[in-house]
Amino acid sequence: MPSSQRVVVFATILATLIPVLSGCGTSALPPPVTVSFRPSLVGVGQVVVITNNSNHHLYNVSVVGRNFEQVSSGSVKATDHLSPGSSVEVGWLEFESWVPVPGETIEVYADNYATPKVSIIPKQ
């Protein structure tokens, strides 16, 4: 095969694979958020504070809390839209039947990010 045909074939294959390999806009990194914690004002567990550290809007931000020792978990959609620099808080009221306590794992998910941001609620 002449080299000009090889270039065309290679360019065609590359043009086909790039969208597939790039995940159609999905980042392999976790969402660009900071996860911090504060005591609940009513004394029931911890409150998870999620802050968007990026210059991009985040959509469909959800939080999953897990207690691996007791094999329990809770999940909640924190917000539909988290603006750059803004924060959202979730605690026992939003989780309904699950109370975030020290030692448990918190995972934050957002659209277009394939992996979660993972944090552990610190012991006090």
- Domains, the chain: 33-120 (2.60.40.10)
| Statement: residue 24 has pLDDT above 60 | no
pLDDT higher than 50, residue 87: yes
- Longest CA span, the chain: 75
Q: What pTM value is reported for the model?
A: 0.77
Per-residue pLDDT at 20 exceeds 60: no
Kindly state the average pLDDT of the residues 79-105: 93
In this prediction, residue 3 carries a pLDDT of 56
The answer to whether residue 58 scores a pLDDT higher than 80 is yes
